[in-house]
Structure 1
Amino acid sequence: MMNKAVIGVTGYDVSEEEGYGGKLRGNIGQGFSVIGHDYLQCVERAGGIPVGLPVLSDSDLSIVSSLDAIVLTGGEDVDPRLFRENVDHRMGRICPERDHFELKLIEYALKENKPILAICRGMQLLNVYFGGSLYKDISDKGKVLTHNFENNPRWYCAHSVRLMHPVLRDLYGSDEIDVNSYHHMAINRLGAGLEIAAESSDGIVEAMVHRKFKDILAVQWHPEMMSVKYEEGLLPFQWLIQAVKAERDKCFR
């Protein structure tokens, strides 16, 4: 019997100053690596085994060889210096160490032909990896929908998105779906080889695939949060598990 897929899941890198005496437990001088349970549970419910990937300062990524796929999760804003812009007052917390680690992680995963599911920040960082840029705030695009609903239940569907690529249409069995929304940055210039796979009615890019690397799926919404109420939240994670199985089948041909 074939073993379950082992899926690496990224997370927050919380500094010692952030953690002590605040929202996290611990002692003075301790930092934390934090991974949302929703991601881990979705991987498990989809049939995989989740493995947390802490930010490694030396970027030794040999562990990727023992993983079957990667989930690039949501979190802090992407450092705009990575796409040759400056931080401004509209931006939230950035974590250059996490950016650096996950960019190396993407590079290594692509070399090893590991499927990648990128969510929210993960999609934005993936776009930057391929040479694209971001809106530091979606207001830069002009009149747009509200895309950041932090005060609502995490599964709350904020707006609809039009599915433009067969991968998503086949996955969801529809041309349009409702999604939650928790972002203020957004895709501006597409990175090399990336294609828009979904858009909201205001033209904000909501999903991407890659023309060369077929085992990449990136979504701007948070399916892992939606999964606590809607089973379709599991679909991107099920896609990832199926991508792993397809890669394994190639090895046995």
Structure 2
Amino acid sequence: MSIVIKTAEDIEKMRIACRLAAEVLDYVAPFVKPGVATEELDRLCHDYMVNAQGSIPAPLNYAPPGYTPYPKSICTSINQVICHGVPNDKPLKNGDIVNIDITVIKDGYHGDTSRMFLVGDNVPSHAKRLNQVTFECMWVGIDQVRPGGHFGDIGAAIQRYAEKAGYSVVREFCGHGIGRGFHEDPQVLHYGRAGTGAEFKPGMIFTIEPMINAGKKEIKALNDGWTIVTKDRSLSAQWEHTVLVTETGVEVLTLSAGNPARPEKWLLD
């Protein structure tokens, strides 16, 4: 494993790319409502990235080994979909929960973030709770990042918080280093043991993006080659930020005006 330590120039470029990714979510938020198809959200985001930002949608035609090229510019994961949901012509329904995952490329650098949206005014309380706990899991993970700590600290804290709430943590998908590459070392697990893994060092940039299931942790891949769902059809939620290890702690790079702030009062206090 070779973790890239970013230079000052790299970090400035990453700040820009990450801010742009977050601003795509700010832009699309008012359109996430009942009756709107996810392929329309994809079109809106694509046009905003390309025409307003001058950025490139990283997922479009992305094809890691063993995968067919991803056909859209964003991922939209609804209800029991854990990740990599492909936008389509089915309208969102009142009561749905949906994760929108955005990665842009600007001047050769990737900015990556995702956010949950509650669709309409009839979202069940159990879905709202899952969403809130998952959001807090992300921040619990971010709070572990400081020079001298270890990547295992992130996973241990997230797993402890999620399981305390009665939920499970997806094992097969994780956070990752990011920069000029979409997915770089290290893998950032959302479960595990504190004090293990590589040590945090200033200049490291990576995502923290826990996928939390209301039921069991097991997953199932759909026939499109991309969409991952919960095997037991329970709800799943995900939040994602890209973070930088600084000399004194952590800087969240994917904050924007429309991004929910770090919780002041925690659901599991």
Same topology, TM > 0.5: no
Structure with the bigger percentage of helix:
1
* Larger RCO (CA within 8 A; separation ≥ 6): 2
What TM-score comes out, normalization by structure 1 length? Answer: 0.30
What TM-score comes out, normalization by structure 2 length? Answer: 0.29
